Amino acid sequence: MNYKTQMEAAKKGIITNEMMLVSRKEKIDEKKLRDLIASGKVVIPANINHKSLSAEGIGEGLRTKINVNLGISGDCIDYSKEMEKVDLALKFGAEAIMDLSNYGKTNTFRTQLIERSPAMIGTVPMYDAIGYLEKDLLDIKAEDFLTIVEAHAKEGVDFMTIHAGINKRAIECFKRSKRLTNIVSRGGSLLFAWMEMTGNENPFFQYYDEVLEILREYDVTISLGDALRPGSINDSSDAGQLSELIELGNLTKRAWDKDVQVIVEGPGHMALNEIAANMTIQKRLCHGAPFYVLGPLVTDIAPGYDHITSAIGGAIAASSGADFLCYVTPAEHLRLPDLLDVREGIVASKIAAHAADIAKGIPGARELDNKMSDARRRIDWEEMFSYAIDGDKAREYFESSSPSEKHSCTMCGKMCALRTTNKILAGEKVEFCSEKLA
């Protein structure tokens, strides 16, 4: 193999096995896909040590992908429950899973996850710093952070969130902006605290070339983290967010020069009217690199329903150019999500991604919708359930209130519009008074 990364292969004109697989999945010409990867507009996160991976592409002209976050915390330490969430994510076809565990030694769970998961695996090495190194934050040295990055890369992680953009310049902009909600990124806040306590530059920024060398060795895609993403609609599009984005654009080009694939992360919380413009700005400042958004959440007053606020923002973001959606569950801002929360979050995110793909005109995006509509016209319930994003839930609703007439539901009964129209078009009479109404 005379290349290290998918990007290097693409630049050399090589079509890899991963590219061929993504080409078939996306119904895109192999050479066109290769050229998009060479330009940085598409990535295929595929660590050489992730042997169970079924490669996926993220970026321009491809289906919008979704990511599912999971992992333990100090208050909820049950890896078996997290593995159930993994199974649920795979069942619903999530293309990526991020292990955000932030307590104790997490590598055993992560290794098992990589061994069994065909989905891309992502991590945030900064979360693992204290548990992995067994040091308090102030005692961690700059070189220690690189040790964690290398450990995750060797294990087979396909993409890593690296908060390299929150340097001293960006922090000055953040401080001047006088935010309502300050820093809401967990990794970003830890780096901010480390920098303020030590007086040092962000080690991921200062030693960025060394980070890239590690990622290149294992073909890990760097997901440039938005440490200063807005955590409230009041703070969106402020100087802190945009100053970091400018830094991320420069870091994107530096990574491409090393043949490291790049994803850029985005907001956050953001009012509806700002989303489309932010997607355009990101693509411009970051040279068309794939954009990965958390939400955006379009209002701050819906705790318990933030999978909905996120899906609204995610659909607008993806239809305006975002390529990768991070799911948000009803438990966001409240607690670690349980299985039901995860299910609701996945489905909401899948709906947003699919709606955006229809709007973007992604080839084949409407196929299932047309099949569903045809099945509805024929009132074929089993076929409808088979096309639904969550067929089990659809069936549960239907069967919980059974109609007397099988070609209807209990909303309209025999007055079902489709049933009436089908009968008339078939030359049959529609009669109600001679029959008992449902």
DSSP one-letter string for 294-335:
E--BS-SS-TT-HHHHHHHHHHHHHHTT--EEE---TTTTTS
Domain range for residue 433? Answer: 403-438
**307 marked as part of a ligand binding site:** no
- Tell me whether residue 159 is in a domain: yes
Q: What is the largest CA-CA distance in the chain?
A: 85
**127 marked as part of a ligand binding site:** yes
| 292 plus 414 within the same structural domain | no
**50 marked as part of a ligand binding site:** no
Q: How far apart are CA 348 and CA 207, in angstroms?
A: 38
Sign of CA dihedral 13, 33, 67, 91: negative
What single letter denotes the amino acid at residue 407? H
Q: How far apart are CA 418 and CA 420, in angstroms?
A: 5
| 296 plus 170 within the same structural domain | yes
- Tell me whether residue 374 is in a domain: no
In degrees and rounded to multiples of 5, residue 261 shows phi and psi of -70, 150
Tell me the pLDDT tens digit for each residue of 222-245: 999 999 999 999 999 999 999 999
Q: Are strands 58-59 and 42-43 parallel, antiparallel or unpaired?
A: antiparallel
**305 marked as part of a ligand binding site:** no
Q: How far apart are CA 6 and CA 45, in angstroms?
A: 8
| 260 plus 116 within the same structural domain | yes
**26 marked as part of a ligand binding site:** no
Position 316 pLDDT exceeds 50: yes
- Tell me whether residue 142 is in a domain: yes
- Tell me whether residue 384 is in a domain: no
| 178 plus 296 within the same structural domain | yes
- Tell me whether residue 29 is in a domain: no
Q: Please give the pLDDT value at position 74.
A: 67
Cα separations (Å) of 306 from 241, 323, 341, 407, 422? 22, 20, 11, 36, 40
**326 marked as part of a ligand binding site:** no
Q: Please give the pLDDT value at position 247.
A: 97
Q: How far apart are CA 403 and CA 410, in angstroms?
A: 5
Position 326 pLDDT exceeds 50: yes
**126 marked as part of a ligand binding site:** no
Which residue's structure tokens are 């699919």?
Answer: 354
Please state whether the predicted TM-score (pTM) of the whole model is above 0.85.
Answer: yes
Position 75 pLDDT exceeds 60: yes
| 240 plus 108 within the same structural domain | yes
pLDDT grade, residue 390 (50/70/90)? very high
**69 marked as part of a ligand binding site:** yes
- Tell me whether residue 286 is in a domain: yes
- Tell me whether residue 200 is in a domain: yes
Q: Please give the pLDDT value at position 71.
A: 86
pLDDT grade, residue 437 (50/70/90)? very low
**382 marked as part of a ligand binding site:** no
What single letter denotes the amino acid at residue 210? E
**228 marked as part of a ligand binding site:** yes
Tell me the pLDDT tens digit for each residue of 196-214: 999 999 999 999 999 999 9
How many of the other CB atoms lie within 10 Å of CB of 378? 13
Q: Give mean pLDDT, residues 430-437.
A: 69
Region of 202 please: left (phi>0), alpha (psi -120 to 50) or beta. Answer: beta
Q: How far apart are CA 274 and CA 317, in angstroms?
A: 10
Q: How far apart are CA 155 and CA 112, in angstroms?
A: 10
Own/partner contacts of 13-17, CB < 8 Å, gap of 24 or more, are 16/44, 17/55
Q: How far apart are CA 14 and CA 335, in angstroms?
A: 46
Q: How far apart are CA 205 and CA 259, in angstroms?
A: 18
Q: Give mean pLDDT, residues 216-223.
A: 98
| 114 plus 255 within the same structural domain | yes
**76 marked as part of a ligand binding site:** no
Position 438 pLDDT exceeds 70: no
Cα 252 from chain centre: 19
**354 marked as part of a ligand binding site:** no
Tell whether omega for the bond before 156 is within 30 degrees of 0, i.e. cis.
no
pLDDT grade, residue 11 (50/70/90)? very high
| 82 plus 204 within the same structural domain | yes
Tell me the pLDDT tens digit for each residue of 93-132: 999 999 988 776 688 889 999 999 999 999 999 988 887 8
207: which 2 tokens?
């030693």
Percent of the chain's residues with pLDDT above 90: 87
E strand segments, 102-187: 120-123, 159-162
| 247 plus 124 within the same structural domain | yes
Q: Give mean pLDDT, residues 403-414.
A: 83
| 142 plus 225 within the same structural domain | yes
- Tell me whether residue 389 is in a domain: no
Cα 100 from chain centre: 13
| 213 plus 132 within the same structural domain | yes
209: which 2 tokens?
């070339």
Where does a domain end: 309, 329, 360? 360
**405 marked as part of a ligand binding site:** no
Q: Please give the pLDDT value at position 288.
A: 98
pLDDT grade, residue 435 (50/70/90)? low
Q: Please give the pLDDT value at position 134.
A: 83
E strand segments, 110-197: 120-123, 159-162
**229 marked as part of a ligand binding site:** yes
Q: Please give the pLDDT value at position 104.
A: 66
Q: How far apart are CA 208 and CA 433, in angstroms?
A: 78
Q: How many structural domains comprise the chain?
A: 2
Supply angle C-alpha 345, 351, 353, rounded to 5: 100
Where does a domain end: 297, 325, 360? 360
- Cβ atoms of residues 259 and 38 within 8 Å: no
| 128 plus 271 within the same structural domain | yes
- Cβ atoms of residues 430 and 422 within 8 Å: no
Where does a domain end: 326, 360, 394? 360
Radius of gyration (Cα) for the chain, nearest Å?
Answer: 24
The enclosing domain of 165 has a CATH number of 3.20.20.540
Tell me the pLDDT tens digit for each residue of 261-288: 999 999 999 999 999 999 999 999 999 9
| 75 plus 158 within the same structural domain | yes
Kindly report the average pLDDT of the chain as a whole number: 94
**For residue 231, what are the β-bridge partners?**
none
